[in-house]
Amino acid sequence: MSSARAHTNAGAWLEIRLDAVCANWRLLRQQAEGAVCGAVVKADAYGLGAARVAPALYRAGCRHFFVAHLDEGIALRPLLDTDAILYVMHGPPPGSEPEFVAHGLVPVLNSLPQLDAWQRLAHALGRELPAVLQVDTGMARMGLPADELEAVANDEGRLRGLALQVVMSHLVSAEDPAAPINARQLERFRSALARLPRARASLANSSGIFLGPEYRFDLVRPGAALYGVAPVAGAANPMRPVVRLRSKVIQLRRIETGTGVGYGHAWVASRPSRIATLATGYADGWLRSFGNRGEVEFEGRRLPVVGRVSMDAITVDATDVPEGQLAEGALVDLLGDSIGVDDAARAAGTIGYEILTSLGGRYARSYLGA
Protein backbone atom coordinates (compact mmCIF):
# COMPACT_ATOMS: atom_id res chain seq x y z
CA MET A 1 0.00 0.00 0.00
CA SER A 2 1.38 3.39 -0.92
CA SER A 3 0.78 4.97 2.49
CA ALA A 4 2.61 2.11 4.24
CA ARG A 5 5.44 2.57 1.80
CA ALA A 6 5.48 6.31 2.47
CA HIS A 7 5.69 5.49 6.17
CA THR A 8 8.61 3.16 5.65
CA ASN A 9 10.47 5.75 3.65
CA ALA A 10 9.68 8.71 5.86
CA GLY A 11 12.45 10.41 7.80
CA ALA A 12 10.28 11.15 10.78
CA TRP A 13 6.98 10.06 12.31
CA LEU A 14 4.44 12.32 13.96
CA GLU A 15 1.85 10.64 16.17
CA ILE A 16 -1.16 12.66 17.24
CA ARG A 17 -3.29 11.30 20.06
CA LEU A 18 -6.89 12.29 19.48
CA ASP A 19 -7.92 10.63 22.74
CA ALA A 20 -5.52 12.94 24.59
CA VAL A 21 -7.01 16.00 22.83
CA CYS A 22 -10.47 14.88 23.95
CA ALA A 23 -9.28 14.14 27.50
CA ASN A 24 -7.76 17.62 27.62
CA TRP A 25 -11.04 19.13 26.39
CA ARG A 26 -12.96 17.29 29.15
CA LEU A 27 -10.47 18.49 31.75
CA LEU A 28 -10.83 22.09 30.56
CA ARG A 29 -14.61 21.79 30.57
CA GLN A 30 -14.48 20.51 34.12
CA GLN A 31 -12.06 23.27 35.11
CA ALA A 32 -14.37 25.85 33.50
CA GLU A 33 -17.21 24.64 35.74
CA GLY A 34 -20.53 25.44 34.20
CA ALA A 35 -19.26 27.48 31.27
CA VAL A 36 -19.74 25.98 27.83
CA CYS A 37 -16.39 24.72 26.59
CA GLY A 38 -15.57 25.38 22.95
CA ALA A 39 -12.42 24.54 21.01
CA VAL A 40 -10.12 26.72 18.95
CA VAL A 41 -9.05 24.80 15.86
CA LYS A 42 -7.54 27.66 13.85
CA ALA A 43 -4.30 27.15 11.91
CA ASP A 44 -5.27 23.55 11.15
CA ALA A 45 -5.81 22.84 14.86
CA TYR A 46 -2.41 24.35 15.74
CA GLY A 47 -0.78 22.27 13.03
CA LEU A 48 -2.21 18.95 14.17
CA GLY A 49 -4.95 18.58 11.54
CA ALA A 50 -8.34 20.24 12.07
CA ALA A 51 -10.05 17.67 9.83
CA ARG A 52 -9.18 14.96 12.38
CA VAL A 53 -9.16 16.99 15.60
CA ALA A 54 -12.47 18.85 15.22
CA PRO A 55 -14.64 15.78 14.45
CA ALA A 56 -13.01 13.95 17.40
CA LEU A 57 -13.91 16.88 19.67
CA TYR A 58 -17.41 16.92 18.24
CA ARG A 59 -17.80 13.25 19.19
CA ALA A 60 -16.54 14.14 22.69
CA GLY A 61 -19.40 16.64 22.96
CA CYS A 62 -17.91 19.94 21.79
CA ARG A 63 -20.32 22.12 19.80
CA HIS A 64 -18.54 25.49 19.60
CA PHE A 65 -15.57 25.69 17.24
CA PHE A 66 -13.38 28.69 16.43
CA VAL A 67 -11.20 29.24 13.38
CA ALA A 68 -9.39 32.40 12.29
CA HIS A 69 -10.02 32.55 8.53
CA LEU A 70 -13.14 32.22 6.41
CA ASP A 71 -11.48 29.53 4.29
CA GLU A 72 -10.69 27.49 7.40
CA GLY A 73 -14.37 27.63 8.27
CA ILE A 74 -15.47 26.65 4.76
CA ALA A 75 -13.14 23.64 4.83
CA LEU A 76 -14.25 22.49 8.26
CA ARG A 77 -17.99 23.05 8.00
CA PRO A 78 -18.87 19.84 6.07
CA LEU A 79 -16.94 17.76 8.61
CA LEU A 80 -19.17 18.79 11.51
CA ASP A 81 -22.87 18.16 12.03
CA THR A 82 -25.24 21.09 11.72
CA ASP A 83 -25.63 21.51 15.48
CA ALA A 84 -21.96 22.51 15.71
CA ILE A 85 -21.43 26.27 15.61
CA LEU A 86 -18.40 27.42 13.68
CA TYR A 87 -17.14 30.92 14.47
CA VAL A 88 -14.70 32.76 12.21
CA MET A 89 -12.63 35.03 14.43
CA HIS A 90 -11.29 37.38 11.77
CA GLY A 91 -14.82 38.10 10.60
CA PRO A 92 -15.77 38.64 6.95
CA PRO A 93 -13.23 40.14 4.55
CA PRO A 94 -15.15 42.92 2.73
CA GLY A 95 -17.58 41.41 0.21
CA SER A 96 -17.38 37.86 1.59
CA GLU A 97 -20.46 38.20 3.82
CA PRO A 98 -22.73 36.04 1.62
CA GLU A 99 -20.24 33.19 1.88
CA PHE A 100 -20.77 33.13 5.64
CA VAL A 101 -24.49 32.61 5.05
CA ALA A 102 -23.94 30.05 2.30
CA HIS A 103 -21.64 27.97 4.49
CA GLY A 104 -23.43 28.43 7.79
CA LEU A 105 -20.54 30.23 9.50
CA VAL A 106 -20.88 32.75 12.30
CA PRO A 107 -18.64 35.80 11.94
CA VAL A 108 -16.85 37.47 14.82
CA LEU A 109 -17.40 41.16 14.03
CA ASN A 110 -14.30 43.13 14.96
CA SER A 111 -14.97 46.61 13.58
CA LEU A 112 -17.79 48.97 12.69
CA PRO A 113 -17.38 48.33 8.94
CA GLN A 114 -17.67 44.56 9.56
CA LEU A 115 -20.71 45.13 11.76
CA ASP A 116 -22.40 47.39 9.24
CA ALA A 117 -21.75 45.09 6.28
CA TRP A 118 -23.18 42.10 8.17
CA GLN A 119 -26.21 44.13 9.16
CA ARG A 120 -26.77 45.28 5.56
CA LEU A 121 -26.80 41.66 4.46
CA ALA A 122 -29.35 40.78 7.16
CA HIS A 123 -31.59 43.59 5.90
CA ALA A 124 -31.16 42.51 2.29
CA LEU A 125 -32.09 38.92 3.18
CA GLY A 126 -34.93 40.02 5.41
CA ARG A 127 -33.92 37.80 8.29
CA GLU A 128 -31.82 37.85 11.41
CA LEU A 129 -28.22 36.76 11.06
CA PRO A 130 -26.18 35.34 13.95
CA ALA A 131 -23.22 37.39 15.08
CA VAL A 132 -20.44 37.56 17.62
CA LEU A 133 -19.16 40.96 18.66
CA GLN A 134 -15.56 41.28 19.76
CA VAL A 135 -14.62 44.14 22.04
CA ASP A 136 -11.06 45.23 22.61
CA THR A 137 -10.22 45.26 26.32
CA GLY A 138 -6.47 45.66 25.97
CA MET A 139 -5.07 43.69 23.07
CA ALA A 140 -5.26 46.64 20.64
CA ARG A 141 -5.42 44.13 17.84
CA MET A 142 -8.98 43.19 16.95
CA GLY A 143 -12.40 44.12 18.21
CA LEU A 144 -14.21 47.38 18.90
CA PRO A 145 -12.20 49.88 20.93
CA ALA A 146 -14.02 51.75 23.72
CA ASP A 147 -15.24 54.66 21.58
CA GLU A 148 -16.69 52.41 18.87
CA LEU A 149 -18.32 50.23 21.50
CA GLU A 150 -19.86 53.38 22.92
CA ALA A 151 -21.23 54.28 19.47
CA VAL A 152 -22.85 50.85 19.18
CA ALA A 153 -24.22 50.92 22.72
CA ASN A 154 -25.77 54.35 22.18
CA ASP A 155 -27.50 53.45 18.93
CA GLU A 156 -30.14 50.74 19.23
CA GLY A 157 -30.38 50.49 15.46
CA ARG A 158 -26.79 49.46 15.14
CA LEU A 159 -27.45 45.82 16.07
CA ARG A 160 -30.95 45.56 14.62
CA GLY A 161 -31.38 42.53 12.40
CA LEU A 162 -28.58 40.67 14.13
CA ALA A 163 -28.97 37.83 16.58
CA LEU A 164 -26.14 38.66 18.95
CA GLN A 165 -24.98 35.26 20.18
CA VAL A 166 -21.70 36.02 21.88
CA VAL A 167 -19.82 39.06 23.11
CA MET A 168 -16.15 38.21 23.36
CA SER A 169 -12.77 39.67 24.16
CA HIS A 170 -9.26 38.27 24.34
CA LEU A 171 -6.74 38.32 27.18
CA VAL A 172 -3.25 39.78 26.78
CA SER A 173 -1.29 37.89 29.48
CA ALA A 174 -3.56 35.14 30.74
CA GLU A 175 -0.68 32.66 31.20
CA ASP A 176 0.72 34.94 33.92
CA PRO A 177 -1.75 35.05 36.84
CA ALA A 178 0.24 37.89 38.42
CA ALA A 179 -0.10 40.23 35.42
CA PRO A 180 -2.13 43.30 36.47
CA ILE A 181 -3.61 43.61 32.96
CA ASN A 182 -5.81 40.55 33.66
CA ALA A 183 -7.96 42.31 36.22
CA ARG A 184 -8.11 45.49 34.13
CA GLN A 185 -9.36 43.53 31.13
CA LEU A 186 -11.91 41.72 33.29
CA GLU A 187 -13.21 45.06 34.48
CA ARG A 188 -13.39 46.52 30.95
CA PHE A 189 -15.10 43.38 29.69
CA ARG A 190 -17.72 43.57 32.42
CA SER A 191 -18.52 47.17 31.63
CA ALA A 192 -18.75 46.36 27.90
CA LEU A 193 -21.22 43.56 28.67
CA ALA A 194 -23.30 45.96 30.73
CA ARG A 195 -23.59 48.32 27.73
CA LEU A 196 -24.67 45.63 25.23
CA PRO A 197 -27.74 43.44 24.76
CA ARG A 198 -27.66 40.12 26.57
CA ALA A 199 -25.62 37.44 24.87
CA ARG A 200 -23.21 34.70 25.87
CA ALA A 201 -20.02 36.25 27.25
CA SER A 202 -16.65 34.76 26.34
CA LEU A 203 -13.28 35.97 27.61
CA ALA A 204 -11.05 33.02 28.50
CA ASN A 205 -8.58 31.24 26.26
CA SER A 206 -6.81 28.14 27.69
CA SER A 207 -4.89 30.09 30.30
CA GLY A 208 -7.85 32.33 31.13
CA ILE A 209 -9.76 29.27 32.37
CA PHE A 210 -7.14 28.94 35.12
CA LEU A 211 -7.29 32.58 36.23
CA GLY A 212 -10.33 31.96 38.39
CA PRO A 213 -14.10 31.55 38.11
CA GLU A 214 -14.75 35.22 37.37
CA TYR A 215 -12.85 34.93 34.07
CA ARG A 216 -14.91 32.05 32.71
CA PHE A 217 -18.27 33.65 31.95
CA ASP A 218 -20.54 31.60 29.65
CA LEU A 219 -18.24 30.21 26.98
CA VAL A 220 -14.51 29.46 27.10
CA ARG A 221 -12.24 29.24 24.04
CA PRO A 222 -9.26 26.99 24.74
CA GLY A 223 -6.80 26.19 21.97
CA ALA A 224 -3.22 25.44 23.02
CA ALA A 225 -4.07 23.46 26.18
CA LEU A 226 -6.15 21.04 24.09
CA TYR A 227 -2.94 20.19 22.28
CA GLY A 228 -0.90 19.72 25.45
CA VAL A 229 0.63 23.17 25.95
CA ALA A 230 0.89 24.17 29.63
CA PRO A 231 -1.77 26.79 30.41
CA VAL A 232 -0.09 28.37 33.44
CA ALA A 233 3.50 29.55 33.08
CA GLY A 234 5.81 28.03 35.67
CA ALA A 235 3.19 25.66 37.14
CA ALA A 236 2.80 21.92 36.71
CA ASN A 237 1.13 21.09 33.41
CA PRO A 238 -2.22 19.32 33.95
CA MET A 239 -2.68 18.63 30.23
CA ARG A 240 -1.93 15.31 28.58
CA PRO A 241 0.77 15.27 25.90
CA VAL A 242 -0.76 14.95 22.45
CA VAL A 243 2.16 14.70 20.04
CA ARG A 244 5.04 12.34 19.69
CA LEU A 245 7.65 13.13 17.07
CA ARG A 246 10.29 10.54 16.23
CA SER A 247 13.07 10.96 13.74
CA LYS A 248 15.26 8.36 12.10
CA VAL A 249 19.02 8.09 12.52
CA ILE A 250 20.17 8.23 8.89
CA GLN A 251 23.87 8.21 9.61
CA LEU A 252 26.12 7.50 12.56
CA ARG A 253 29.76 8.49 12.54
CA ARG A 254 32.81 8.70 14.74
CA ILE A 255 34.82 11.88 14.85
CA GLU A 256 38.11 12.87 16.44
CA THR A 257 38.62 15.58 19.01
CA GLY A 258 38.71 18.93 17.23
CA THR A 259 36.40 17.93 14.39
CA GLY A 260 33.75 20.52 13.50
CA VAL A 261 30.19 19.40 12.78
CA GLY A 262 27.78 20.89 10.26
CA TYR A 263 27.45 24.35 8.71
CA GLY A 264 29.94 26.88 9.98
CA HIS A 265 31.43 24.25 12.28
CA ALA A 266 29.28 25.83 14.97
CA TRP A 267 30.18 22.89 17.23
CA VAL A 268 33.60 21.30 17.56
CA ALA A 269 34.14 17.97 19.35
CA SER A 270 36.08 18.31 22.59
CA ARG A 271 36.51 14.53 22.85
CA PRO A 272 36.30 11.60 20.44
CA SER A 273 32.58 11.55 19.65
CA ARG A 274 29.82 9.68 17.92
CA ILE A 275 27.45 11.88 15.97
CA ALA A 276 23.99 10.72 14.90
CA THR A 277 22.35 12.53 12.01
CA LEU A 278 18.54 12.67 12.19
CA ALA A 279 16.25 13.21 9.21
CA THR A 280 14.48 16.32 10.51
CA GLY A 281 15.48 19.91 9.84
CA TYR A 282 14.17 23.42 9.76
CA ALA A 283 12.16 22.64 6.62
CA ASP A 284 10.19 20.29 8.89
CA GLY A 285 9.65 23.02 11.42
CA TRP A 286 12.55 21.94 13.61
CA LEU A 287 13.58 25.51 14.23
CA ARG A 288 17.12 26.71 13.56
CA SER A 289 17.20 28.06 17.08
CA PHE A 290 17.53 24.46 18.35
CA GLY A 291 21.11 24.56 17.04
CA ASN A 292 23.53 23.77 19.91
CA ARG A 293 20.58 24.11 22.33
CA GLY A 294 17.93 21.48 21.74
CA GLU A 295 17.81 17.92 23.03
CA VAL A 296 16.37 14.66 21.77
CA GLU A 297 15.74 11.45 23.67
CA PHE A 298 16.81 7.91 23.00
CA GLU A 299 15.78 5.16 25.43
CA GLY A 300 15.60 7.46 28.42
CA ARG A 301 18.81 9.33 27.65
CA ARG A 302 18.98 12.98 26.54
CA LEU A 303 21.22 13.66 23.57
CA PRO A 304 22.14 17.28 22.85
CA VAL A 305 21.73 18.81 19.42
CA VAL A 306 25.21 19.78 18.29
CA GLY A 307 25.95 22.24 15.53
CA ARG A 308 23.43 24.09 13.43
CA VAL A 309 20.09 22.76 12.33
CA SER A 310 20.17 22.13 8.57
CA MET A 311 17.22 22.20 6.23
CA ASP A 312 16.68 18.44 6.32
CA ALA A 313 18.82 17.20 9.21
CA ILE A 314 20.10 17.75 12.70
CA THR A 315 23.16 16.25 14.36
CA VAL A 316 23.12 15.01 17.95
CA ASP A 317 25.93 13.89 20.22
CA ALA A 318 25.40 10.16 20.83
CA THR A 319 28.78 9.54 22.44
CA ASP A 320 27.25 8.60 25.80
CA VAL A 321 24.91 5.96 24.37
CA PRO A 322 26.51 2.56 25.03
CA GLU A 323 28.17 1.08 21.97
CA GLY A 324 25.79 -0.91 19.78
CA GLN A 325 22.61 0.44 21.35
CA LEU A 326 21.99 3.12 18.73
CA ALA A 327 22.18 2.03 15.12
CA GLU A 328 21.35 3.63 11.80
CA GLY A 329 17.61 3.35 11.26
CA ALA A 330 16.83 3.76 14.98
CA LEU A 331 14.09 6.20 15.98
CA VAL A 332 14.87 9.02 18.36
CA ASP A 333 12.24 11.12 20.17
CA LEU A 334 12.16 14.84 19.42
CA LEU A 335 8.83 15.37 21.20
CA GLY A 336 6.89 13.05 23.46
CA ASP A 337 6.10 12.25 27.05
CA SER A 338 9.54 13.18 28.27
CA ILE A 339 10.34 16.15 26.01
CA GLY A 340 7.09 18.09 25.93
CA VAL A 341 6.26 20.91 23.53
CA ASP A 342 6.98 23.44 26.29
CA ASP A 343 10.42 21.90 26.96
CA ALA A 344 11.23 22.09 23.27
CA ALA A 345 9.95 25.66 23.16
CA ARG A 346 12.21 26.69 26.03
CA ALA A 347 15.24 25.23 24.27
CA ALA A 348 14.35 27.04 21.04
CA GLY A 349 13.51 30.34 22.75
CA THR A 350 9.89 30.28 21.67
CA ILE A 351 6.47 29.11 22.89
CA GLY A 352 4.78 25.73 22.56
CA TYR A 353 2.28 27.28 20.14
CA GLU A 354 5.05 27.92 17.62
CA ILE A 355 6.57 24.45 18.05
CA LEU A 356 3.18 22.92 17.20
CA THR A 357 2.20 25.20 14.32
CA SER A 358 5.64 24.74 12.76
CA LEU A 359 5.34 20.94 12.53
CA GLY A 360 6.00 20.26 8.89
CA GLY A 361 4.35 18.48 6.03
CA ARG A 362 7.01 15.82 5.47
CA TYR A 363 6.29 13.79 8.57
CA ALA A 364 4.47 10.49 8.26
CA ARG A 365 1.45 11.38 10.38
CA SER A 366 -0.68 8.94 12.26
CA TYR A 367 -3.69 9.58 14.44
CA LEU A 368 -4.15 7.39 17.48
CA GLY A 369 -7.11 6.92 19.79
CA ALA A 370 -9.70 8.01 17.24
Ligand X SMILES: *Cc1c(COP(=O)(O)O)cnc(C)c1O
What residue ranges bind ligand X (CB under 6 A)?
A: 40, 42, 89, 170, 205-207, 221-225
Measure the CA–CA gap between 171 and 182, rounded to whole angstroms: 7
The 10 Å CB-count burial string (b at 16+, else e) for 255-289 is: beeeeebbeeeebebeeebbbbbbbbbbebbbbee
Catalytic residue among 87, 248, 263, 363: 263
Residue 322 beta carbon to ligand X: minimum distance, rounded to whole angstroms? 41
Dump strand ranges (E) for the chain: 12-17, 36-37, 39-40, 64-67, 85-88, 106-109, 129-134, 162-168, 200-202, 219-220, 243-255, 260-261, 267-268, 273-278, 295-298, 301-304, 314-317, 331-335, 364-368
Catalytic residue among 42, 58, 87, 215: 42
Give the residue closest to ligand X by C-beta.
223
Q: Is 3 helix (H, G, I), strand (E, B) or coil?
A: helix
Complex with ligand X: residue 176 or 312, whichever CB lies closer: 176
Residue 339 beta carbon to ligand X: minimum distance, rounded to whole angstroms? 21
Q: Is 168 annotated as a binding residue?
A: no
Residue 152 beta carbon to ligand X: minimum distance, rounded to whole angstroms? 19
Complex with ligand X: residue 207 or 247, whichever CB lies closer: 207
- Taking the CA atoms of the chain, what radius of gyration do you get in angstroms? 24
Complex with ligand X: residue 134 or 277, whichever CB lies closer: 134
Complex with ligand X: residue 67 or 279, whichever CB lies closer: 67
The 10 Å CB-count burial string (b at 16+, else e) for 15-24 is: bbbbebbbbb
Residue 56 beta carbon to ligand X: minimum distance, rounded to whole angstroms? 17
Residue 28 beta carbon to ligand X: minimum distance, rounded to whole angstroms? 9
Residue 221 beta carbon to ligand X: minimum distance, rounded to whole angstroms? 4
Q: Is 89 annotated as a binding residue?
A: no
- Give the residue ranges of DSSP H helices in the chain: 2-9, 18-31, 42-46, 50-60, 70-76, 97-103, 112-125, 146-153, 181-195, 206-209, 341-348, 352-358
Alpha-carbon torsion, ordered 225, 231, 236, 238, to 10 deg: -30
Among this protein's residues, is 248 annotated catalytic? no
Eight-class DSSP state of 350: S
Q: Is 16 helix (H, G, I), strand (E, B) or coil?
A: strand
Residues for the chain: how many in total? 370
Complex with ligand X: residue 33 or 155, whichever CB lies closer: 33
Complex with ligand X: residue 137 or 315, whichever CB lies closer: 137
CA 48, chain centre distance (Å): 8
Annotated binding-site positions? 141, 311
- Active site residues per annotation: 42, 263
Annotated binding-site positions for substrate? 141, 311
